[in-house]
Amino acid sequence: MKPISLDNFEFTGHEAAKLGDLHALDAHDREQLLMSGVDVEEQGRSGSFLHMDHSGAYCKTNRPGVEILNIKDALKKYDGLPEYFWKLVDPEKDEATRKARDVLHGGYFIRAEKGAKIEEPVQSCLFIKANKAGQSVHNIVIVEEGAELHIITGCAVSHQTQESAHVGISEFYVKKGGKLTFTMIHNWGENVAVVPRSAGYVEEGGQFLNNYVLLRPVKYLQMYPTITLGGTGAVARFNSVVVAPKGSYLDMGNRVIMNAPDTRCEIIARTIASGGTIINRGHIKAGQVPAKGHLECKGLILGGGVIHAIPELEATVEGVELSHEAAVGKIARREIEYLMARGLDEDEATSTIVRGFLNVDIMGLPDKLKQVIDKTIAESQKDMF
Amino acid sequence: MLHIENLHVKIGEREVLKGIDLHINPGETFILFGPNGSGKTSLLMTLMGLGDYAVTKGRIIFKGTDITYAPTYERARLGVGMSFQRPPTIHGLPVRHLVRMCGREREVPVERLARRVNFDQFLERDVNAGFSGGEIKRSELLQLMAQQPSLVLFDEPESGVDLENMALIGREVRSLLQGEDTPRPDKSLEELKRARATSGLIITHTGYILDYINADRGQVLYNGHLCCEARPRDILEHIRKFGYQECVRCLDNALA
């Protein structure tokens, strides 16, 4: 599959109106948001951010200790964010980054203040409503020293059939002893092309935990977020759950660069091709000791498709401990029979096994979001068998 | 409860069961002996409808229904329950969730049942992931307790189990088959026995399980044939003394 051309999309002229309240969205859009982890009631959320088409539509902070701004406002407030803006991603990297450098529609700036333990997640959504729209955002997340923050961010289109493109730059900074849990749920459509460019830097004793869920079709997705563990004892963990139905082409993976001693990382991906194509990359690079990393790509092909797993380990010093495990398999007959012996029919048994394989539970998401994800998995199973 | 008539079963080209006739009455526990490779596990697998076991002749009637070719889940829903000897690991499926599903529409008191088999610490673990021999047995028992089958197929309840666990497993197998072990002054023993409707078909090598349960009848399966029906303890004693040689002779006579 050829990379998409961003020139086919309109990067101007789709400024959305500001929303006083997330309830102002119509029922259809609210539903789309819900699928992306955004609760319009804002129950159990420390704040909300909504970017629609070419502009920010809603931004609200519900707790002290967490700052949520439109990136444009943050750039003004903090004199262009010289320590953070385009510091981890090179604007000259490729067509997507150049587009994001030339056109900035918005994006979020979320910062947890020093020592602030923000228990309830901040929710955010990057939403595309207009057909043919090209959306370009730049997000910056900063977790200051000793702070803790969970961001649930969804990306969605209003209508699954519309054509659009999304370019998103995200830069994550986890300072000394900080902890960032970043959960991203992609809910694009069958004609949407998506090229996020993300990078993060984790300081001494910091933790970056990343959850990624993609269950709905997307025409083209290409991303390879890179996290650098720059301080002693830093930790990164990626959990990805990905389904590629017919028409989806995904080229995705995670990279961790272990640049300090006592660092640990784990990259775990569960992928199902149900007619689509998944290129599942993974790369751990370690140049300091002790360093311990594990990379795991497990895939199932159910109902056709392609899975191409490319795990890479790169060690440049004696004493690192890196491992990887890649497997593309099928659902074992024995497992289905075992569950059938407990009274589950074949479909129930198979979907129970698939749900277990995807294992969203380990992400520790809020109940309501977990229910929505379970429902989406159940729906996506009709393509699999 | 269970009627097996002239059952012939093949795996591929090889006939593993060669005309089995077996009747198990409601509430009766039947013990199956036999050396390795004699077809015991094949019989249980065939009764549950698992694996590549093809019935070539005969039938299996359970509670009046012909289940010879029924799918496994239909047998399970009719009331056949099986304890697997080497169950597969199911990643991402916590024990708690599976136990709940075993009850179908019935609400299952998962915690209470789990405590009985000393398994409440395992409810959040993935099914069979890294379980020891004893843990597998307790997990299987827990699932059966939730399932409430009327016929329990048990493949070697004692295999891989230490002595301490054996007592617990023996007690719970007994309770699964015979109900709670509390005296009922208003009922005679005979009445109680008739009231319990759970039947059992148990494979044992060592016979340890016989210390815990009231087994009514037993038989030896040898080379795909059933022979030598007797009281389970007598069979066990005989096998301990003479091995299965006697069965061969007996079988030769029967087939001659």
Percent of chain B with pLDDT strictly greater than 70:
90
Q: Please list every residue in chain B whose beta carbon sits closer than 8 Å to the beta carbon of residue A338.
A: 84, 87-88, 90
Give the helix ranges, DSSP H, for chain A: 27-35, 71-77, 95-102, 333-340, 346-358, 367-380
The DSSP annotation for A149-179 comes to EEEEEEEEESSTT-EEEEEEEEEEEE-TT-E
What local confidence, expressed as pLDDT, does residue B234 receive?
86
pLDDT (mean) for A240-265: 96
What local confidence, expressed as pLDDT, does residue B214 receive?
84
Which one has a higher pLDDT value, B114 or A365?
B114
Nearest in space to A45 (alpha carbons), one of A117, A123, A113, A111: A123
ipTM above 0.90 for this complex? yes
CB A211 within 8 A of CB A365: yes
CB B86 within 8 A of CB B41: no
Judged against a pLDDT cut of 60, whether residue A1 lies above it is answered with no
Query: If you compute the radius of gyration of chain B from its CA atoms, what whole number of angstroms results?
Result: 18
Per-residue model confidence as pLDDT tens digits over B169-220: 999 999 888 876 555 666 666 665 555 679 999 998 888 888 888 888 999 9
Bridge partners of A297?
A269, A326
Number of structural domains found in chain B: 1
What local confidence, expressed as pLDDT, does residue A92 receive?
95
Amino acid in position A295 = L
Q: Count CA within 13 A, CB hemisphere, residue A151.
A: 31
Judged against a pLDDT cut of 70, whether residue B26 lies above it is answered with yes
pLDDT (mean) for A277-298: 96
Kindly report whether the peptide bond that precedes residue A290 is cis, defined as omega within 30 degrees of 0. Answer: yes
What local confidence, expressed as pLDDT, does residue B20 receive?
93
What local confidence, expressed as pLDDT, does residue B256 receive?
59
pLDDT grade, residue A362 (50/70/90)? confident
Per-residue model confidence as pLDDT tens digits over B101-141: 999 989 999 999 999 999 999 999 999 999 998 999 999 99
Amino acid in position A156 = A
Structural element, H or E, at residue B135 = helix B133-147
Nearest in space to A164 (alpha carbons), one of A119, A113, A120, A105: A105
Interface test with A, best of B41, B52, B72, B101 (most A CBs within 10 A): B72
A362 phi and psi angles, rounded to 5 deg: -65, -10
CB A76 within 8 A of CB A107: no
Report how far residue B30's alpha carbon sits from residue B216's, in angstroms, rounded to the nearest whole number. Answer: 6
Distance from CA of A337 to the nearest CA of B (A): 6
Question: Does the beta-carbon distance from A340 to B90 stay under 8 Å?
Answer: no
Question: Does the beta-carbon distance from B92 to A332 stay under 8 Å?
Answer: no
Question: Does the beta-carbon distance from B102 to A343 stay under 8 Å?
Answer: yes
Judged against a pLDDT cut of 80, whether residue B253 lies above it is answered with no
> Any chain A CB within 8 A of the CB of B1?
no
CB B128 within 8 A of CB B88: yes
Judged against a pLDDT cut of 90, whether residue A15 lies above it is answered with no
DSSP 8-state code for residue A210: E
What local confidence, expressed as pLDDT, does residue B208 receive?
86
What local confidence, expressed as pLDDT, does residue B165 receive?
86
Question: Does the beta-carbon distance from A352 to B93 stay under 8 Å?
Answer: yes
Q: Please list every residue in chain A whose beta carbon sits closer than 8 Å to the beta carbon of residue B91.
A: 356-357, 359
Q: What is the mean pLDDT of chain B?
A: 89
Report how far residue A304's alpha carbon sits from residue A274's, in angstroms, rounded to the nearest whole number. Answer: 5
B19 Rama class: left (phi>0) / alpha (psi -120 to 50) / beta: left
DSSP-derived pairing of the beta strands B2-11 and B14-24 = antiparallel
pLDDT (mean) for A324-351: 94
Q: Which residue of B has its CA nearest to A350?
A: B90
Q: Which domain does B139 fall in, by range?
A: 2-255
Percent of chain B with pLDDT strictly greater than 90:
60
> Any chain B CB within 8 A of the CB of A289?
no
Which of these ranges, A80-84, A314-318, A363-367, has the smallest mean pLDDT?
A363-367
Q: Please list every residue in chain B whose beta carbon sits closer than 8 Å to the beta carbon of residue A359.
A: 91-92
Which of these ranges, A107-111, B175-179, B222-226, has the smallest mean pLDDT?
B175-179
Per residue in A46-78, is it b (16+ CB within 10 Å) or e — as a string? bbbbbbbbbbbbbbebeeebbbbbbbbebbeeb
pLDDT grade, residue B148 (50/70/90)? very high
Nearest in space to A138 (alpha carbons), one of A175, A170, A110: A170
Alpha-carbon distances of A18 from A40, A46, A50, rounded to whole Å: 15, 20, 10
pLDDT (mean) for B87-108: 94
Question: Does the beta-carbon distance from A343 to B87 stay under 8 Å?
Answer: no
What local confidence, expressed as pLDDT, does residue A376 receive?
86
Residue appearing with tokens 């203040």: A113
pLDDT grade, residue A234 (50/70/90)? very high
Which of these ranges, A156-160, A203-207, B66-70, B214-218, has the smallest mean pLDDT?
A156-160
Which of these ranges, A49-63, A234-248, B7-21, B85-99, has the smallest mean pLDDT?
A49-63
Percent of chain A with pLDDT strictly greater than 90:
74
CB A285 within 8 A of CB A258: yes
| Domain containing residue B93: CATH number | 3.40.50.300
How is the beta sheet containing B199-203 ordered, strand by strand?
Answer: B80-83, B151-155, B199-203, B29-33, B217-222, B225-230
Structural element, H or E, at residue A312 = strand A306-315
Question: Does the beta-carbon distance from B91 to A357 stay under 8 Å?
Answer: yes
